[in-house]
Amino acid sequence: MKPIEHAIWLIESRLRENPTLDDIAMETGFSRYYLSRLFGEETGTSFASYVRGRRLSEAAKELLAGAPDILSVAVGAGYGSHEAFTRAFRDQFAITPQEMRNRGLEQPIKFVEPLRMNAAPIVKLDPPALETLPAATYVGLARTYEMSQLGRIPDQWGEFQHHLSQLDPAKVGGAFGIVQNAAPNGENVEYVCAIPAGRGLEAGDGLVELKLPDMKLAKFWHRGHIAGIKATTKAIFEEALPSAGLKPVGPVDLVEFYGPEFDPRSGFGAVGLWVHVKQ
């Protein structure tokens, strides 16, 4: 895994915490100087500009969605006052937050979207274990993404972690990333961060209930940093499943299992990748 991929994943997964260069440098093991230099060379923008642009872009989307209180949006974006937020917002988009909310997308807005992480292309996988996942109900946070927006999933997990932080980890046991309902035209897909019902979360306050049927699963493992999960997923669908004579079926396309072997803060550890296949 490239250092820059690790850094981008950390930024996106902690976007709501306003990550600093010191924070990310410490996590990746590099000096501030080297990380800032590497970030600029690899992405074409500075660390600070990227974080500022991403947080302001997410704030702008909240305003477009009808957020009633601009100050609350400002605080969520890391600004202590309406005035400071307005100055930064105008510098980024050439429009004030109030104008953004009132006028919507009457004029083009250039958002700063997540940088895509390009993982190593070669992954060797063990043959899958075939098991049945019993029908169950889950409670979680659901988002629908265009395929070009999948880099926003770490931020979704960051939001979901705020719900999990109030629970006993021993009772939760593990969390699931459920990929489902891919559009027939291939333009978007739904992603749900969830835990089984009865383990501390209830639908409401932005959380939804999801019922899944019995499913025959081909179970694989991704090991290493989470930034490389794209390469493992590619190897599963393009190589491992065909080699095993298995065909994936929907509407649940993939279940990610984040158990005790995975550290959500660092992004390192084992993640189960379970594919719904024909019975």
Say what the pLDDT of residue 124 is: 86
Q: Select from 3.90.1280.10, 3.20.80.10, 3.30.2130.30, 3.40.50.2000 the CATH code of 129-276.
A: 3.20.80.10
Quick: pLDDT tens for 203-225.
998 999 999 999 999 999 999 88
Say what the pLDDT of residue 184 is: 76
Upstream peptide bond of 154 is cis (omega within 30 degrees of 0): no
Say what the pLDDT of residue 1 is: 62
**Phi, psi (deg, nearest 5) at residue 94:** 60, 30
> pLDDT class for 84, splitting at 50, 70, 90?
very high
> pLDDT class for 117, splitting at 50, 70, 90?
low
Looking at the predicted structure, is the pLDDT value of residue 118 above 70? no
Arithmetic mean of pLDDT, 115-127 = 74
HSE, CB side, 13 Å, CA atoms: give it for residue 147: 9
List the chain domain ranges: 3-103, 129-276
Angle at 192 between CA 187 and CA 197, to 5 degrees: 155
Q: For residues 129 and 219, what is the distance between their CA atoms, to the nearest angstrom?
A: 5
**HEC sequence for the chain:** CCHHHHHHHHHHHCHHHCCCHHHHHHHHCCCHHHHHHHHHHHHCCCHHHHHHHHHHHHHHHHHHCCCCCHHHHHHHCCCCCHHHHHHHHHHHHCCCHHHHHHHCCCCCCCCCCCCCCCCCCCCCCCCCEEEEECCEEEEEEEEEEEHHHHHHHHHHHHHHHHHHCCCCHHHHCCEEEEEECCCCCCCEEEEEEEEECCCCCCCECCEEEEEECCEEEEEEEECCEHHHHHHHHHHHHHHHHHHCCCCECCCEEEEEEECCCECCCCCEECEEEEEEECC
Arithmetic mean of pLDDT, 38-47 = 88
Q: Select from 3.30.420.110, 1.10.238.10, 1.10.3720.10, 1.10.10.60 the CATH code of 3-103.
A: 1.10.10.60
Looking at the predicted structure, is the pLDDT value of residue 258 above 70? yes
Say what the pLDDT of residue 119 is: 53
Looking at the predicted structure, is the pLDDT value of residue 177 above 90? yes
How many other C-beta atoms can be found within 10 angstroms of the C-beta atom of residue 94? 11
